[in-house]
Amino acid sequence: MFPKELEDGYRQWRDERLPHERGRLAQLAALGQAPIALIIGCCDSRVSPETIFSAGPGELFVLRNVANVIPPYRPDGKHHGTSAAIEFALGGLAVPHIVVMGHSQCGGVRAYLNPDFDKAGEFIGPWMSLIEGAKEDALARNPDLKGKALETAVEEAAIRVSIRNLRTFPEIQRREAEGLISISGGHLDIANGNLRVMDEETGNFSPAL
């Protein structure tokens, strides 16, 4: 059975928002999409890029996975959903911006920080091993970190790891060298909605506004 809550939500969208978006949707259907950015975010239900950035249909190309992780470039013939989405965003849509956006209270990062991390499920553990070194990165910047402060710092470090992995893609390297694309990092505090962005030179995060 289709969830009633989703039926109700669709009905509200159809009755209240669709009349205002109908022209835009028809144009997108006829001409295709040209999003201004690829947002690589977490699949956490509390962090919707379209909502956070007040984006309408066709404005953002959104890729979401556990903990906004980007694997390194590895064309080995296996199943790589994240890498496939990045490839399409570049080759099919020529997006001019990529934003890797993490957030507070990230369940994937908490799994990674768990002492029993290697037992974190059949898929979550191997997936989160892609940010190996994030805790060491955070502690190298501040050895006194503990508790929530350490968790936040590792969330930030995971963004830096993902951006480094993103730059292993040859097409990313080419487009950056030619000035065709920008890469940014962001971290949202879900408790208060504050967005902090990464300084490209230092890797530190500071308020967006």
Q: In what order do the strands lie in the sheet with 205-207?
A: 60-65, 37-42, 97-103, 182-188, 195-198, 205-207
| Alpha carbons 86 and 73: distance in angstroms, whole number | 10
79 catalytically annotated: no
Please, which residues have CB within 8 angstroms of residue 136's CB and are 6 or more apart in sequence?
none
Phi and psi at residue 100, to the nearest 5°: -95, 115
> Residue 99's beta-bridge partner residues?
39, 184
| Alpha carbons 139 and 150: distance in angstroms, whole number | 8
80 catalytically annotated: no
Choice among 20, 74, 76, 103 that is catalytic: 103
Choice among 11, 46, 74, 174 that is catalytic: 46
Q: How far is CA 26 from CA 22, 31, 145, 154, 167, in A?
A: 6, 9, 51, 43, 36
43 catalytically annotated: no
Q: Would you say 158 and 68 are in contact if contact means Cβ atoms under 8 Å apart?
A: yes
Choice among 11, 14, 20, 44 that is catalytic: 44
Choice among 8, 43, 74, 106 that is catalytic: 106
Catalytic residues: 42, 44, 46, 103, 106
